[in-house]
Structure 1
Amino acid sequence: MGSPGGWWGRKSTPAKVETYTRWSLYFIALSEPTVIGVTAFGHLDARAGLLLMLPVAGHVALAVVTASRALDWTCGRRPQPLRLLWTLGAATAALAVAALALAHHGSGGDATATVLGTVFGVTLCYGVGLMALAVKDRRRVVWLVGGFGAGAGLVTWALGMPALTALSTIALVTAAGGFFAATSGFSIWLLKAVYALDEAHETRARLAVAEERLRFGRDLHDVMGRNLAVIALKSELAVQLARRERPEAVEQMIEVQRIAQESQREVRDVVRGYRRADLEAELSGARGVLRAAGIDC
């Protein structure tokens, strides 16, 4: 069994960043019931606090699932979770409106109103922030934050609260929701940047391999093309001389043998990557080809 450090060490850098981003967002979502729970159990009895935490826990679970699917969508593993996005939006709005209505018209007293007001504000801010993970266009994120802020103000005003309270609610929800949405957007941007950088590294490695293949093919063509041309010409000359029973045929075949051995050495140099273009060697090879063709140079 591998150790946790080994499991982490086997991950690539983008996978590490994705894991860090994922769990950071999970912990942000899980901090919602912590904030509400501290207020609830500080002002209410245990039974009322537990009853209040049930819908909050459902909202958190839905937010965590939405965040997970949104990250999978960002990484290209799933389609955009539109149904979960709408479901989380509806659940956030319903829970916030219910909490505000009970706080304003309920009979639980100031302590209950304080707790429900906390549920209203925290649910809206966390819900909007995590919903932003599944929204691609920044303008839509702005509309999302502004829409929930304006909706919170309108609901506050419709329940009979003063206009100044409604405006304060709009400002508070918009600012806090915008902060969480910006945090989510930055996390997604960072994750995409890391994956794009990793893809660029892979592309650069593939280009380096392709460039090396082109170099190898070019050098091999230069070596074998020139030397084979010389071998073909000298072999043809040796055949003609042999048919005429001229002794020079032996000299031509010795030269063919020498060129073949030289070609083997140069091919080995090309394979090893040691071959370098040398002007004197290239001119000598060109003179050899021309002499074999009967051209004085």
Structure 2
Amino acid sequence: MCADGRIEAMSPSPGDLRRSTGRFVLYVHWSLYVLLLVELSAAVLVAAATDDGAPPGPALALAVAVVLHTAGNLAWMRWSLHTVRHPVPVPRRLRPLLALWVLFTLATVLLSPVALGGLATGWPSVAVIVTSLSMAAFAPRLPWWLVTATPVVTAALVTAVLAPVLGNELPTVAGQMVAVSLIYAFFVASFWLSGWMLRVMYALDDARGQSAQLAIAEERLRISRDLHDVFGRTLATVAVKSELAAELARRGRPERAADEMAQVRRIADEAGKEVRRVVAGVRGSDLPQELVGARSLLSSAGIECVLSNQLPEGRVAPEVGAVLGAVVREAVTNVIRHSRARSARITLRLLDGPTPAVELVVVNDGLREPEHDDGSRGNGLLGMTERLAAVGGGLSHRIDPDADTFTLTAVAPLATADAGAAPAAPPAGSPTLAEGVR
């Protein structure tokens, strides 16, 4: 309970869910095992209904047959329950046992009139009970209509067989058959419903496992994407600083070269901290900070940077600002790594329309074709596209060979887009991502 008196909702842990699932499965299994023991009551009733002067042999034989039949039902019920989650046909090694069990069921039904002293003295009910419980042993694996129809069909067949010899007792026996068949139809249906509940529980348990796997995959994707962002910019900065230090050393300015290498070391230390924050899942992108870092990085690389931020302070949602900050970081990394740019311009402005949006435009000159394709081209643009799509935004780029410029345009709503909302459309005339990736 919270300090203000409200009851705090607590979600069960995965361990609690697994234990609850195991307890439910155990409860269903043993409930069905106990219900199958109802057949033993028939053996007791048979023994009690036998005439005192009748020979005890047939009644004892039927009682033993019922006990053995119950044991067989329990064994096949155990097999049915253990194969509900992953249904498989009866193994070849068990098929002889299945055939023997069917024959034993028929023998039990045929032995009962001898033990009961006649066909009309209770044998019809015994036949329905034995066949119904035999079907119940497989009910978790069978269709519901087959399970519920078995007692009714058995009662109808038994009544039809006995009709010529029953005479005046036919209405009484038929009434008993209707009552017994309906009772055991509902009884056997409960076995099928228990199997259905187990299938639902197993499906939920599998879905929970798949959800955990998806969460792990999503976390791996987040880490790989953030590491790409961090190390893309860091390695680009290290390359520029190292090249500058080497050039200063060749020109006889060791002090400046040492300063540049000290900055390289500081950048490497910061990169190590960034990696730890990425793994811990606490890293975020701040748009104003990324803009300052982008201008500093471009200046360090000898690229003139013109920054035009026309966004009113506090208007952009934090989630959208984080995504735009990541886009700025990746765009600047691409400028340094994939161009011979002498100047770059970064513009942020509001777009008027039914849905207010923010537009980020990064333009650089000095186009350069990549020297080789290492299989990783386009990862940066793809990552930016995914980030923008998550907040309802869009990404486009345009290459102008005549002006020797590359233009990257990102559009995102001021607030996080609702689920299912259409992404903000890039400006008209902008090419799609498939038209070229660098």
Residue in 2 that maps onto 1:28 = 35
Residue in 2 that maps onto 1:241 = 248
Flag the 1:190–1:65 CA change in 2: closer, same or farther, 3 A. same
Q: Deviations over 1:227-284 (max 9, x none)?
A: 1101101110111121111353333223222212221221222222221221123223
- The one of 198, 212, 215 equivalent to 2:205 is 198
Q: Which amino acid aligns with 2:301?
A: A
Partners in 1 of 2:283 and 2:21 — Cα distance? 39
Flag the 1:242–1:293 CA change in 2: closer, same or farther, 3 A. same
- The one of 86, 89, 92 equivalent to 1:76 is 86
Partners in 2 of 1:227 and 1:285 — Cα distance? 11
Flag the 1:87–1:59 CA change in 2: closer, same or farther, 3 A. same
Q: Does 1:252 align with 2:265?
A: no
Q: Which amino acid aligns with 2:108?
A: L
Q: Deviations over 1:66-94 (max 9, x none)?
A: 21121122133864378466655554444
Given that 1:14 and 1:194 are in contact with CA atoms closer than 8 Å, whether structure 2 keeps it comes out as yes
| Cα deviation, residue 117, structure 1 | 5.2
Flag the 1:42–1:24 CA change in 2: closer, same or farther, 3 A. same
Partners in 2 of 1:240 and 1:218 — Cα distance? 33
Q: Does 1:140 align with 2:146?
A: yes
Partners in 1 of 2:126 and 2:268 — Cα distance? 87
Partners in 1 of 2:65 and 2:178 — Cα distance? 26
Residue in 1 that maps onto 2:44 = 37
Residue in 2 that maps onto 1:295 = 303
- The one of 90, 96, 106 equivalent to 2:109 is 96
Partners in 2 of 1:156 and 1:185 — Cα distance? 30
| Cα deviation, residue 226, structure 1 | 0.5
| Cα deviation, residue 14, structure 1 | 3.3
Residue in 2 that maps onto 1:55 = 65
Flag the 1:151–1:289 CA change in 2: closer, same or farther, 3 A. farther
Partners in 2 of 1:133 and 1:100 — Cα distance? 31
Partners in 1 of 2:278 and 2:257 — Cα distance? 31
Q: Which has the higher strand share?
A: 2
Given that 1:154 and 1:166 are in contact with CA atoms closer than 8 Å, whether structure 2 keeps it comes out as no
| Cα deviation, residue 142, structure 1 | 4.6
Residue in 1 that maps onto 2:270 = 262
| Cα deviation, residue 32, structure 1 | 1.3
Q: Does 1:275 align with 2:283?
A: yes
Matches within 5 A, 1:157-168: 157=163, 159-161=165-167, 164-165=171-172, 167-168=174-175
Partners in 2 of 1:139 and 1:118 — Cα distance? 21
User: Structure 1 residues 156-165 or 272-281, which shifts more?
Assistant: 156-165
Partners in 2 of 1:274 and 1:178 — Cα distance? 59
Matched position secondary structure for 1:231:
helix
| Cα deviation, residue 289, structure 1 | 3.1
Partners in 2 of 1:100 and 1:92 — Cα distance? 14
Partners in 1 of 2:40 and 2:29 — Cα distance? 18
Given that 1:238 and 1:253 are in contact with CA atoms closer than 8 Å, whether structure 2 keeps it comes out as yes
Flag the 1:125–1:169 CA change in 2: closer, same or farther, 3 A. farther
- Number of corresponding residues: 281
Partners in 2 of 1:166 and 1:275 — Cα distance? 79
TM-score (norm 1): 0.79
| Cα deviation, residue 120, structure 1 | 3.3
RMSD: 3.2
Flag the 1:13–1:165 CA change in 2: closer, same or farther, 3 A. same
Residue in 2 that maps onto 1:186 = 193
Flag the 1:77–1:224 CA change in 2: closer, same or farther, 3 A. same
Partners in 2 of 1:90 and 1:134 — Cα distance? 21
Q: Does 1:286 align with 2:323?
A: no
| Cα deviation, residue 53, structure 1 | 0.8
Given that 1:85 and 1:131 are in contact with CA atoms closer than 8 Å, whether structure 2 keeps it comes out as no
| Cα deviation, residue 160, structure 1 | 4.2
Partners in 2 of 1:98 and 1:172 — Cα distance? 23
Partners in 2 of 1:236 and 1:289 — Cα distance? 14
Matched position secondary structure for 2:303:
coil
Partners in 1 of 2:201 and 2:299 — Cα distance? 60
Partners in 1 of 2:33 and 2:189 — Cα distance? 16
Partners in 1 of 2:137 and 2:238 — Cα distance? 74
Partners in 1 of 2:27 and 2:252 — Cα distance? 84
Structure 1 unaligned residues grouped into runs of 5+: 1-8
Partners in 2 of 1:260 and 1:200 — Cα distance? 42
